[in-house]
Copies of this chain bind each other. A is one copy, B any other.
């Protein structure tokens, strides 16, 4: 159902910015946050439109009209049939709502080709509206924080079990499947097994292959999450099948030190660039700076990645009820990738809670 309080808040922000409306397409958590439901987004345009006067309407294909009617609670749903051009109904909707010629923001999941089709037919000025929803939900409610804790608890349990499961001869896919299965067993939703990457494969932080086989001596990086009550978890642990070499230990412990330094810096009120720098300095000082090629972390909630983004140019201070990941890594091409990631919250009392409690000590599976 529509969260009218949020709609009100968003409408006020739009008004302040001189933006007449915000289009919110599904995916990425925005609609889940606003209406408690996340319709499936295919190539067909669809989205909730929030106007600066606090009214709302929805535009979708006839295919999903009855679904939209349910969460729109009697507010207008404009729909078009597959053999019509969706921009015709968007134009009618914009005309009926006084949006022609106005600034219209779009959230993070609207597709560019659909926007261009609309721009080709309708007079309006598109505005990047990705931040509207993300900054509105950057401060979590107590219920959301509780679900973040539960969601992290699930992946902690999965990690404890998966360590006992991994054996030489298994493929990355075997491990992924078991992670996905265990997530469900422990009550998590929507886990597809995430990333499981061995040795040099893990040097690509977003490796999504799955066919490599664990050998007698193999570094196994696992990055996975699920949702509980709509809230995502996100954990990365790297374990070693066999006895770790000195070099593996060196890199592992460096990443761990950086992870701990980031978490120690992530206190209420901390300037976000300083949090990133605290972790990065550990890795840079050891001469591995060039191998840590991404931000320290990202906010997390209804989306797996959302504000606040933890990097050197995100000029904001941490505040109570923010949630984000702390995930330094070292990635050396064709050799190794090690990342250690926890989700961290600043709780209602301003205390830092590292939600993932499972061990970060180097595990050797022998």
Contacts and interface: CB of A to CB of B under 8 A. Distances in A.
Contacts of A308: none
A38 to B, nearest CB: 8
Contact of A293 (B81, B85, B112, B203): B81
A63 B83 CA distance: 41
Nearest to A134: B43
Given A106-B112, A112-B112, 6 more contacts: A64-B205, A66-B331, A67-B207, A107-B113, A112-B115, A117-B128
B294 A66 contact: no
Contact of A206 (B40, B108, B305): B40
Contacts of A184: 173, 177
Interface of A: 28, 39-40, 42-43, 61-67, 81-85, 106-117, 119-120, 126-130, 173, 177, 184, 192, 203-208, 273, 276, 293-295, 305, 309, 311-314, 331, 333
Given A192-B192, A312-B83, A111 B108 contact: yes
Contacts of A67: 204, 206-207
A126 B130 contact: no
Contacts of A293: 62-63, 65, 81
B108 A109 contact: no
Contacts of A331: 66
Given A63-B294, A205-B63, A309-B82, A128 B109 contact: no
22 contacts: A28-B43, A40-B206, A42-B305, A43-B130, A62-B293, A63-B205, A63-B293, A64-B206, A66-B203, A66-B331, A66-B333, A81-B293, A82-B311, A82-B312, A83-B295, A83-B313, A106-B112, A106-B116, A107-B113, A110-B111, A112-B126, A177-B184
